[in-house]
Amino acid sequence: MRWKFLLRPGWLGLTAVVFVFAAACYTMLAPWQFDRHDEQSTQNAALERSFEERPRPLTEILPNGTAPTTNEQWEQVRMTGRYLPDDEVVARLRTVDGGAAFEVLTPFQLTNGQYVLVNRGFVEPDGQSRIPDYAAAPRGQVELSARIRADENDPQNRPAFAEDGHQQVYAINADTVGQTTGLRINPGYLQLSAEQPGGLRPLPLPQLEAGPYFSYALQWIAFGTMAILGWGYFSWREARPGGALAEPKPRRKSVAEILAEDERAERAASEDTQTSDDPDRPPATAQAPSPS
């Protein structure tokens, strides 16, 4: 039966690998890149809107301390209240414009009594990779303009810890800071715009570009398709007469075996020539009788 080779263990293993890889490309890898493309497009649209619209009151966009979603991400807001510098926290292991940085997070009490977390900007580490001295947040009531950001998640759920005279965290998360300070901070945080009271070096905004995610998704689809087409081609080739798996192929002789065969053939030819020239001469293997 021509297609019987498909049931061989080796071919079954190859078939499983090919189709598992193709399924991963279609159901996991390509959708993952499509999702990243959608996230990038949503972020770009939100940034573009924020450039065109005037800041609105924070309580209007996030009433009753609701958590921000992708629809509110990057929206510009304004708020009035006072900093709580005694509860300040520093986010460590940050990267800004390709360099190491610390981001300074200061709780902020709104005039309605609610607490929010304000990212005042970043500072670069000193020569010993420690937090340098930086300007303190102003005391008293101030009005701020900032952009809404969603909480970050630390996969390891590491708590805040004290080092170098500062409370430090690994991710900017209102709940983590709230557990450290004892304040009930609303979800999300506010990233200060440039030239705001208490602002340090402002964080750069993301670039408005689509990114390579859509093309990556198409590449994964192409890889999955190529794997299936390749499997189909080799299956068709093996099903044809003379396929690599149709019947065992003779073992190829080594160079030493070929040279030995040639030497034996030359010796036999030489002996045949000597015998034809002297028919009375005994064969080379025969021995003359010993004298009596």
Long-range Cβ pairs for the range 120-128 (8 Å, 24+): 120/192, 120/198, 120/199, 120/200, 121/192, 121/199, 121/200, 121/201, 121/202, 121/203, 122/94, 122/96, 122/200, 122/201, 122/203, 123/200, 123/201, 124/99, 124/100, 125/100, 125/101
| 54-77 confidence digits (pLDDT tens) | 888 999 999 988 999 888 888 899
Give the type of residue at 12.
Answer: L
pLDDT (mean) for 70-88: 91
Mean pLDDT computed over 146-163: 91
CA distance 10 to 14: 6
Output 71 or 226, whichever has higher pLDDT: 226
pLDDT of residue 292: 44
Radius of gyration over alpha carbons of the chain, in Å?
Answer: 39
Specify the DSSP class assigned to residue 262: H
pLDDT tens for residues 103-123?
A: 999 999 999 999 999 999 999
The average pLDDT across 140-156 equals: 92
Residue 155's pLDDT is 87
- Given a cut of 90, whether residue 258 has pLDDT beyond it is no
Kindly indicate the confidence band of residue 236, based on its pLDDT and cuts at 50, 70 and 90. Answer: confident
Model confidence pLDDT, tens digit, residues 211-220 = 788 888 999 9
Alpha-carbon separation of residue 24 from 18, 204, 234 (angstroms)? 10, 36, 21
pLDDT tier for residue 267 given thresholds of 50, 70 and 90: confident
Residues 148 and 73: beta-carbon distance below 8 Å: yes
pLDDT band at 48 (very low <50, low <70, confident <90, very high): confident
pLDDT reading at 42 higher than 80? no
Write the DSSP symbol of residue 185.
Answer: B
Residues 6+ apart with CB under 8 A from 121: 103, 104, 192, 199, 200, 201, 202, 203
DSSP 3-state percent helix, strand, coil across the chain (nearest 5): 40, 20, 40
Q: For position 250, what pLDDT does the model report? A: 64
pLDDT at 79 exceeding the cut of 90: yes
**DSSP string across 40-61:** HHHHHHHHHHHHHSPPEEHHHH
Is 50 exceeded by the pLDDT of residue 78? Answer: yes
Q: What is the pLDDT of residue 275?
A: 65
Mean pLDDT for 1-22 is: 81
Domain ranges for the chain, please list them.
2-42+212-239, 55-192
**Of 49 and 85, which is predicted with more confidence?**
85
For residue 256, with 0-12 CB atoms within 10 Å meaning exposed, 13-18 middle and 19 or more buried, which class applies? Answer: exposed
- How would DSSP label each residue in 140-158? SEEEEEEEEEPPP--TT-P
> What pLDDT score was predicted for residue 239?
75
Examine the pLDDT at 286 and tell me if it is beyond 50. Answer: no
Residue 53 pLDDT level (bands cut at 50, 70, 90)? confident
Task: Work out the mean pLDDT of the chain and round it to a whole number.
Answer: 84
Cα–Cα distance, 158 to 45 (Å, whole number) = 33
Nearest alpha-carbon partner for 82 in 104, 115, 109: 109
- Show Cβ contacts of residue 210 under 8 Å, excluding neighbours closer than 6 positions: 37, 40, 41, 44
Chain-centroid distance, C-alpha 207: 20
**pTM confidence score:** 0.64
Res. 32: pLDDT tops 70: yes
pLDDT at 283: 56
